[in-house]
Amino acid sequence: MKERTKLFLIVGVFAAAYYVPWDHPVIRRSGLEAFLMLQEYARQHVLTCLIPAFFIAGAISVFVSQASVLKYFGAQAGKLLSYSVASISGTILAVCSCTVLPLFAGIYSRGAGIGPATAFLYSGPAINVLAIALTAKILGWQLGLARAVGAVVFAVVTGLLMSLIFRKDDAARTAGKIYVPEEGEKRRTLVQDALYMATMVLILVFAAFARPAPGATGVWPAVYAAKWYITAVLLILLGFMLKAWFTRDECKIWLESTWGFMKQIFPLLAGGVLVAGFLLGRPGHQALIPEQWIQSLLGGNSVWANLMAAVAGALMYFATLTEVPILQGLLGAGMGQGPALALLLAGPALSLPNMLVIASVMGAKKTATFCGIIVIMSAMAGMLYGAWVA
């Protein structure tokens, strides 16, 4: 952190302490909501979602061969292969907009093209099979189907647009400004590396597996009931893999890489959650911006209502599956079907905290473009869906 940045941070904290009217009931409630939201995030997502994701990101950065990254996600990789892999990744990971960040940082820093990397960044939280199924069950099959189709299309289109807009940057990365040649002989086979990565991904999936809706039947409640037993078995299996296939130095490098991602992402993430909580509050808890203001602006199917829904969804933080009950309440309060889809397409994939982290990984210009594409496409999709439903 530059000295000037440190000075601005100190001055900002002092100004907030000095000038903000903390004795006002609304300000006081908003401040409390900010820390309650941070506490909720720490309790529900850090240990089960973020920590496994950081270890996966560290492993990607250290152990995944550059050739593999270039084969599937590189700027010169075949578009059909790279975007197919990127756009369906969410069906496997089922992570939230913040949990996907270390995974994105890992593949992008390893040399992935901006197009496939941002397609993966969107699809990770947006194409969540459980969330889409819950949407269809609670909010109607039409909205669930529109969310599923829209999420897959958005992942591909967003990646293609980012690749087109920043093609010169990708060409520079391909020319060798980012990539470092691999050296040394591999100690493990491709199958062993694949099993190692797959085990960590499964640990993330089962540790973060959300509680199914009350009254749900079928395989999901059974998986949820056994999630910790499955996670424990996977952790033991991972331990055996590390003992048999990795040297002590390799494990040390892996931990150092993981710690590097944590240092970069955690402070920005915590700050973003505090700001989002102060402005918008937790679901069902009013903060600085009254909920009725948002609800009154989201009725009907106008351009303004859909754009407002997309922007509100992009700024708010949604933990995995929480967007469904939030939308259920908003729809009951008079929110239009079109704006509901716009919020569903923009909300899970974006949030104020994850925007700050994305900017630290790929720069403010690319981040603004990425967010703008998603917001505009979400508003357009909401208008089309609202007109079709009507």
Q: What is the pLDDT along the chain (390 residues), one digit of tens a residue?
A: 568 777 888 898 888 888 888 889 989 888 888 898 888 878 877 777 778 878 887 887 777 665 565 567 765 667 777 788 777 766 655 566 676 787 788 778 777 788 888 888 888 788 766 677 778 877 888 988 999 899 889 998 998 999 899 888 776 665 444 344 444 556 778 788 889 988 988 888 888 777 777 777 778 888 888 999 999 999 999 999 999 999 899 899 989 988 987 887 778 778 877 887 888 777 667 788 776 777 778 888 889 999 999 998 888 877 656 677 677 767 776 788 999 999 999 988 888 888 888 988 888 899 999 999 999 999 999 999 999 987
CB count, 10 Å around CB of 242?
15
- Write the DSSP symbol of residue 213: P
Work out the end-to-end distance of the chain between its first and last CA atoms, rounded to an integer number of angstroms: 52
Instruction: Write out the DSSP string of 220-244.
Output: HHHHHHTHHHHHHHHHHHHHHHHHH
CB count, 10 Å around CB of 175?
10
User: Which residues make Cβ contacts (< 8 Å) with residue 41, sequence separation at least 6?
Assistant: 273, 317, 319
Residue pair 330/347 in contact by the 8 Å Cβ criterion: no
Structural domain spans, the chain: 29-178+185-389
pTM of the entire predicted model: 0.66
